[in-house]
Amino acid sequence: MKEKRLPLEGVRVLDFTWAWAGPQATLLLALMGAEVIKVESKRRLDHSRLRSLVAGPSMSGPDASFIFNTLNLNKLSVTLNLSKPEAVEIARSLTKISDVVAQNMRPGVLERLGLGYEDLKKVKPDIIMLSSSAVGATGPERLYTGYAPTFAAMGGMAYITGRLGGRPAPLMGTIDLRVGSTGTFAVLAALYHRRLTGEGQLIDLSSAEAVSALMGDAFMDYTMNGRVQERAGNLDRAMAPHAVYRCRDNKWVSIAVGSEAEWRALCGVVSDARLTDDERFADAFSRWQNQEALDEVIGEWTVGRTPVEVMEALQSAGVAAMPVYGGEEIVTDRHVLARGVIEEVEHPLMGTKKVLGPPWRLTKTPARVLRHGPLLGQHNDYVLGELLGMSKDDMARLTAAEVLY
Amino acid sequence: SNRALEGLKVLEYCDMVAGPHCGKLLADLGAESIKIEQPLAGDRARHRGPFAGDDPHPEKSGLFLYLNTNKLGITLDPTTATGKRIFRELAKDVDVLVEDHAPGRMRELGLDYDALAAVNPGLVMVSIAPFGQDGPYAQYNCYTLNLHHVSAHSTQFFIARFDDPGREPVPPGGHAGEYDGGLNGAIAAMAALFGRMLTGEGQYVDVSKHEGLLGLERVDICRFADGDSIIARFGMQIGGLMACKDGFVILTMPQDHQWVGLVEAMGSPEWARKEEYATEMGRAQNHDDIQPRVEAWALQFTKDEIYRICQDCSVPLGPVRSTAEVFEWQQARERGFFQEVDHPVAGKFYYPTAGYKLSATPWRADRPAPLLGQHNEEIYCGRLGYSKEDLARLRADGVI
């Protein structure tokens, strides 16, 4: 059978991103089949290639980072030392044959190198440029810096995350990937526009604003009512039960009830007269008012069971109950396994590594994992030789001059 | 045209957050989006707050108003024979259909991909469901709370733990995982449209909100899947959540030059200039000496003061801001992140826009969220050719 085509076949992306957020944006494009050429250099390694507290102690070198691998699947790597004018010239030549340029360096850095949007537009008038930064490329704080936890803090999500009356909770890497996904969508929209009109453009992505856009309703509460939403733990503004309950072995299960039918189903499964005979639990309003007492009764039922037992018993009656999972449980969960969420990819240094494919399934032109994250400079020959027509001698000279470095 | 998705036609048959967010992302960039709502009750988001003026009116839900900008709204009951026929007529003329019903429901209605592709081979149909269309949990009931916890998006794992790990874990505030599901739906819809440019055919797209959240944790999940469960806790790095005079700030500085910046920001105190503090590993080993001193320093300032002091030294520190503080933030204000949208019933309010500014095709609210059934006449009479008398009969029969 003929191999299915990838949806972004024929789209080329010149990728100056590093860390997590930018690489996630181009990762999704690479999984869709775009040819993503990652520009890197030993002089300035993507810090996901480096040993760190997050990467752990087992890493043998920059080509053996599982973090880099998982965020850079399907991409190509070319090493350009952008402190050398010749490398900048090569980057410009690559722009000429690219559709998209992506970057998340500190605002102003690429501009100083002569690789800002205005410069690149001159060599490729219809280029699309994704420029991702902490708080956007305009405004008084445009030069400020940040990472996922600070984006979450400044965008408003950390403030509403935490226990009722407790401290806010820092959100971590997931925020970077949310910012990256937002960038992917913007690039696809800009590409669509270019296909129809021939016009390229600059996408100025603010990470903090990308976070805020994912909690729009909380902002509406403020702009409509002047109300500041606070941390509320597992509480819902209307539903009860709506909580996590302790299970056997200090595990937890989440249960949420959104209708009378679900409430009756829960009562049927738990089968405790204290739920059905108590006026305090007789309707949704009363249950919400008396949820502490309600949670106590339900908790007595869950505490002797495993989260999966609770899930199966309640779900068979149509009640929303799911275990509270950590990493170990996710990777062995039967639904995750049945859906094939975790795939394997062969890596030349690390051997077989587990990775995640795209979080959506396209039936006719499926996005998919094709190969491991690139070794540093692995595709110099292809990119410079084949795409730019450079001779072996030229490349040797540029290597010696630490332009390809 | 200065709308990125000008000419793209979208039909949305969705409720609450995820599906409508997908539709909003497309509509806000210029797609012509028709939203189908159940007659009389409408989208369930209309009955969830926050409500303007705390008035629980179906046209005043901030959740609905935010998630449905730029859409045309019609009412239709596809469980009736006529409703199904009209649904097919609508689907015949669009590029993208987004739906978020329980897996199998569209097939029961005779409105599954095969049935619709028969009348519109170019159709991209995106189904958004908590656990996708197949697999053991596909039919499971799942609210936002369950979705966050089962995806490990809670303080049990992916949100920094609290000091009292024996207590109950909590998820991210708001509807984050649902918004993510919608964002993934919009990305997948666009991918399928590019696929259509290659093959000339539409296709079916299965979007699992659960997998969307797992995808945001791809780094740590890979690590667990490979049997290496060492996770650096936030607490090992210097910084993290720190109290100051008027609230909290978060400091993250994985890179060594950022420590140098912090030392400078603190006025280069003697204690901070130790050589072993120069590397991340060295600082982790001396965490208990360094952290209390940094925290004591932070307590002297307001969060805005310390934000500027640190950022002036290139130290990545951010204040934990409430919605009010984000709204009042000069940076967001100068960038025009909040824009006024006037709604005929709810009133005129500032809405968050989008995280991206597209230079040639900016975000724009051409219209507020639709009133329930606001565009019935425009769509049914103007496009599908029904008469006004038909409309009255359809309404009386409960079809629209």
pLDDT in tens, B35-88: 999 999 999 999 998 999 999 999 999 999 999 999 999 999 999 999 999 999
Best CA proximity match to A130, nearest among A18, A209, A22 = A22
Beta bridge partners of A342: A356
Specify burial of residue A392 (Cβ count, 10 A radius: 0-12, 13-18, 19+).
exposed
With an 8 Å Cβ cutoff, are A171 and B212 in contact?
A: no
Tokens of A294: 């309600």
pTM for the model stands at: 0.97
Contact B169 A244 (CB under 8 A): yes
Distance in angstroms (rounded) separating the CA atoms of residues A326 and B228 = 14
Token pair of A303 as six digits:
């505490």
Q: Element (H or E) spanning A312, and its range? A: helix A307-315
Q: Which two tokens mark A188?
A: 């696809």
Looking at residue A266, its amino acid is: L
Q: What is the dihedral of CA B208, B212, B218, B222, to 10 degrees?
A: -20
Q: Residue A183's closest chain B neighbor by CA?
A: B356
pLDDT, position B234: 46
Preferred mutation among A223, A311, A354 to probe B, highest tally of B CBs within 10 A: A223
Contacting B residues, span 168-187, partner chain A, CB-CB under 8 Å: 168-176, 179-180, 183-187
**In this predicted structure, what is the pLDDT of residue B210?**
98
What crossing angle do the helices spanning B18-28 and B176-199 adopt, rounded to 10°?
A: 60
**Distance of residue A3 Cα from the nearest chain B Cα, in angstroms:** 13
> For residues B393 and B326, what is the distance between their CA atoms, to the nearest angstrom?
49
CB-based contact, A178 to chain B, within 8 Å: yes
Cβ of A145 within 8 Å of Cβ of B350? The answer is no
Q: Compute the distance between CA of residue B295 and CA of residue B305 in angstroms, rounded to an integer.
A: 15
Q: In what order do the strands lie in the sheet with A201-206?
A: A76-79, A35-40, A12-15, A100-103, A128-133, A201-206, B356-358
Residue of A nearest to B256 (CA): A52
> CA torsion sign, B163 to B169 to B175 to B176?
positive
Between residues 41 and 100 of chain A, which touch chain B (CB distance below 8 Å)?
47, 52-54, 56-58, 66-67, 69-71
- Is A217 within 8 Å of B67 when comparing Cβ atoms? yes
- Supply the DSSP symbol for A182: H
A256 touches chain B (CB under 8 A): yes
Strand, coil or helix: A366: coil
User: Is residue B193 within 8 Å of A189, Cβ to Cβ?
Assistant: no
Please give the pLDDT value at position A3. 80
A173 token code pair: 């890497």
Retrieve residue A256's tokens: 């949420």
Give the HSE-up count for residue A182: Cα atoms under 13 Å, Cβ half-sphere.
Answer: 30
Please tell me which residue of chain B has the smallest CA distance to A206.
Answer: B355
Whether residues B174 and A218 touch (CB distance < 8 A) is answered with yes
How far is B43 from B21, CA to CA, in rounded Å? Answer: 13
Please indicate whether, in this complex, the C-beta atoms of A364 and B224 are within 8 angstroms of each other: no
Chain B contact for A368 (CB, 8 A cutoff): no
B261: left (phi over 0), alpha (psi -120 to 50) or beta: alpha
**CB-based contacts of A330, cutoff 8 Å, min separation 6:** A336, B151, B152, B214, B221, B224
Give the number of residues written for chain B.
400
**Residues B393, B397: Cα–Cα separation, whole Å:** 6
Which residues of chain A are within 8 Å of residue B323 when distances are taken between CB atoms? Answer: 156, 159-160, 215, 218-219, 221-222, 228-229
Task: Tell me if A359 sits within 8 A of B131, measured CB to CB.
Answer: no
Nearest to A71 among B145, B219, B353 (CB): B219
A276 Cα to chain B: minimum distance (Å): 22
Q: Do A223 and B350 touch (CB under 8 A)?
A: yes
CA–CA distances in Å: residue A301 to residues A298, B159, B246: 5, 28, 42
Q: For A388, phi and psi rounded to 5 degrees? A: -100, -5
Per-residue pLDDT of chain B (400 residues; tens, 9 = 90+): 699 999 999 999 999 999 999 999 999 999 999 999 999 999 999 999 899 999 999 999 999 999 999 999 999 999 999 999 999 999 999 999 999 999 999 999 999 999 999 999 999 999 999 999 999 999 999 999 999 999 999 877 767 766 677 889 999 999 999 999 999 999 999 999 999 999 999 999 999 999 999 999 998 898 888 876 555 544 578 999 999 999 999 998 878 999 999 999 999 999 999 999 999 889 988 999 999 999 999 999 999 999 999 999 999 999 999 999 999 999 999 999 999 999 999 999 999 999 999 999 999 999 999 999 999 999 999 999 999 999 999 999 999 8
* Inter-chain touch B320–A151, beta carbons under 8 Å: no
Nearest Cβ partner for A220 among B66, B248, B324: B66
- Neighbouring CB atoms inside 10 A of A332's CB total 11
The Cα of B47 is separated from the nearest Cα of chain A by a number of Å equal to 10
* CB contacts < 8 A (A, B): 524
**CB within 8 Å of chain A, chain B residues 212-251:** 212-226, 228-232, 234, 236-237, 240-241, 248-251
Nearest to A17, CA basis, from A71, A81, A89, A84: A71
> Hey, of B146, B208, B244, B313, which one would you mutate to test binding to chain A, going by the most A CBs within 10 A of its CB?
B146
List residues bridging with B126 in a β-sheet: B98, B205
> How many angstroms separate the CA of residue A373 from the nearest CA in chain B?
13
Structure tokens at B159: 């949100």
pLDDT at A213: 98
Helix (H) or strand (E) holding A353: strand A351-356
Counting every residue, how long is chain A?
405
Dist CA B9 CA A152 (whole Å):
34
> Distance, in angstroms, between A99 CA and closest chain B CA?
14
Q: How far apart are CA B353 and CA B182, in angstroms?
A: 16
Chain A (268-287) residues lying within 8 Å, Cβ to Cβ, of chain B = none
Residue of B174, B9, B204, B30 lying closest to B96 (CA atoms) = B9
Among B residues 284-303, those touching chain A with beta carbons less than 8 Å apart: 284
Give B135 to chain A, closest Cα distance, Å. 6
Q: DSSP letters along A264-278, please? A: HHHHHHH--HHHHS-
Of B86, B351, B355, nearest to A223 by C-alpha is B351
SS3 A7: coil
- Tell me the average confidence (pLDDT) per consecutive run of 10 residues in chain A, 405 residues long: 87 96 97 98 90 66 92 98 97 98 92 97 98 96 93 97 92 93 98 97 98 98 98 95 96 97 98 96 96 97 98 98 93 96 96 95 97 98 97 97 96
Q: Are strands B317-319 and A100-103 parallel, antiparallel or unpaired?
A: unpaired
What's chain B look like in SS3? CCCCCCCCEEEEECCCCHHHHHHHHHHHCCCEEEEEECCCCCCHHHHCCCEHHHCCCCCCEHHHHHHCCCEEEEECCCCCHHHHHHHHHHHHCCCEEEECCCCCHHHHCCCCHHHHHHHCCCCEEEEEECCCCCCCCCCCCCCHHHHHHHCCCCCCCCECCCCCCCCCCCCCCCCHHHHHHHHHHHHHHHHHHHHHHHHCCCEEEEEEHHHHHHHCCHHHHHHHHCCCCCCCCHHHCCCEEEEECCEEEEECCCCHHHHHHHHHHCCCCHHHHCHHHHCHHHHHHCHHHHHHHHHHHHCCCCHHHHHHHHHHCCCCEEECCCHHHHHHCHHHHHCCCEEEEEECCCEEEEEECCCEEECCCCCCCCCCCCCCCCCHHHHHHCCCCCCHHHHHHHHHCCCC
Give, as one character, the DSSP assignment of residue A79: E
- Quote the pLDDT of residue B254: 79
Q: Residue A316, exposed/middle/buried by CB under 10 A (0-12, 13-18, 19+)?
A: exposed
Say if strands A100-103 and A128-133 run parallel, antiparallel, or are unpaired.
Answer: parallel
Per the structure block, which two tokens stand in for B240?
């993290």
Asked if B29 and B5 count as a contact pair (C-beta separation under 8 A), the reply is yes
- For residue B293, give Cα distances in angstroms to A109, B247, B272, B286, B289: 33, 18, 9, 12, 7
C-alpha span between A173 and B323 (Å, rounded): 22
